[in-house]
A = this chain, B = another copy of it.
Amino acid sequence: MTVSKVDIARAAIRAGTFSGHTSGIARDHVQGNIVILPQSLASDFLRFCQRNPKPCPVLAVSEPGDPMLPKLGRDIDIRTDVPRYRVWRRGELIDESTDIRKLWRDDLVTFVIGCSFSFEQALLDAGLSLRHIDQNRNVAMYRTNIQTEPAGPFHGPMVVSMRPLRAADAIRAIQVTSRFPDVHGAPVHIGDPSLIGIKELSLPDYGDAVEVMRDELPLFWACGVTPQAAITQARPEFCITHAPGAMLITDLLNHQLAAF
C-alpha cells in the first residue's frame, strides 16, 4: 500500500504534530471549511447554505453524532483531522484546540463547505499568478453590502475575497473558476469595489491587503468566511469551526469537482 501525501498530512494533523495553515499542503486535494453545530440548528444552517450556494457550497453533511465523513475520505474523523479548531459558545470564541474528542456530543452535525484553495490551485495550474500567494500573505477579504438570504437565525452580509488581475487574466479566471461551482465558482463582482459597499481596498475586514495595480481589475469571489460571519451573528449555544486557514484535507481531488 502506497502512502500518499494526504495520508502523511492527515496522520500529522491527527497526532496533533501539525496545527498550522493547510494552504499548499496536498495541493491537489479538496480542502474544506468546517462548521459543527447541534442538530437543533442544523436544518436552519443547511437551509442557509442552500439559499446562499456561492458563499456556502456544501461538500458534505454528517449524520447527527457521527464524526465520520465517508463521502470525503475513507477514514476522516472530524474530531481529530482538522489541524486547529475554534470552539464557540453564544458567538464568543472560548477555546482553540487541535482535538475535539472531549467536546464531542451525540447531537453534533458537521458541515464541510468548499474552500477557495481548490479554485486557486486551478488558477495556478492555468498559468495565472496570484499576488497574495506570491507575497505569502492571506487573501484579502471584505464584508459587502450584498445581503445573504436568511434562514432561521442565520443572516448577514456576504463576505468576499479579492484577487487583482489584468484584464485578459481576469477573463481567464472567470472561465476557470466557473468550472468549480462547489468551491465558490465564478466571481460575484469585478471592478469598482464601491458598487458592493467596499469603501477602501487597502483596509480588508479579514486577511491581508494586497495592492491593485493601475492596469488591473479587482475580482471578488464569494468567501467561506460568510457562514462563519452568519454564525457569529446567530450566536448559537455551541459551535465548533476550523481555525482560519487550518482546513480539513479530504481525499477528493480538485479535478473531481470540475463541472466541465
Contacts and interface: CB of A to CB of B under 8 A. Distances in A.
Interface stretch (A93-101, A182-190, A226-234): A182-190
A171 B174 contact: yes
B190 A170 contact: yes
A195 interface: yes
A192 B216 CA distance: 9
18 contacts: A167-B190, A167-B191, A167-B192, A167-B195, A168-B188, A170-B190, A171-B174, A171-B186, A171-B187, A171-B189, A174-B174, A174-B175, A175-B186, A190-B217, A191-B191, A192-B215, A195-B215, A260-B260
A138 interface: no
A260 B178 CA distance: 12
A220 to B, nearest CB: 9
A192 B167 CA distance: 9
Interface in A154-183: 167-168, 170-171, 174-175, 178
Interface string A219-260: 000000000000000000000000000000000000000001
Interface residues of A, number: 18
Contacts of A217: 190-191
Contacts of A215: 192, 195
A166 B168 CA distance: 18
A178 to B, nearest CB: 5
Nearest to A186: B171
Contacts of A167: 189-192, 195
Given A170-B191, A174-B175, 6 more contacts: A167-B189, A170-B190, A171-B186, A174-B174, A178-B178, A191-B191
Contacts of A190: 167, 170-171, 190, 217
A215 B188 CA distance: 15
A168 B191 CA distance: 10
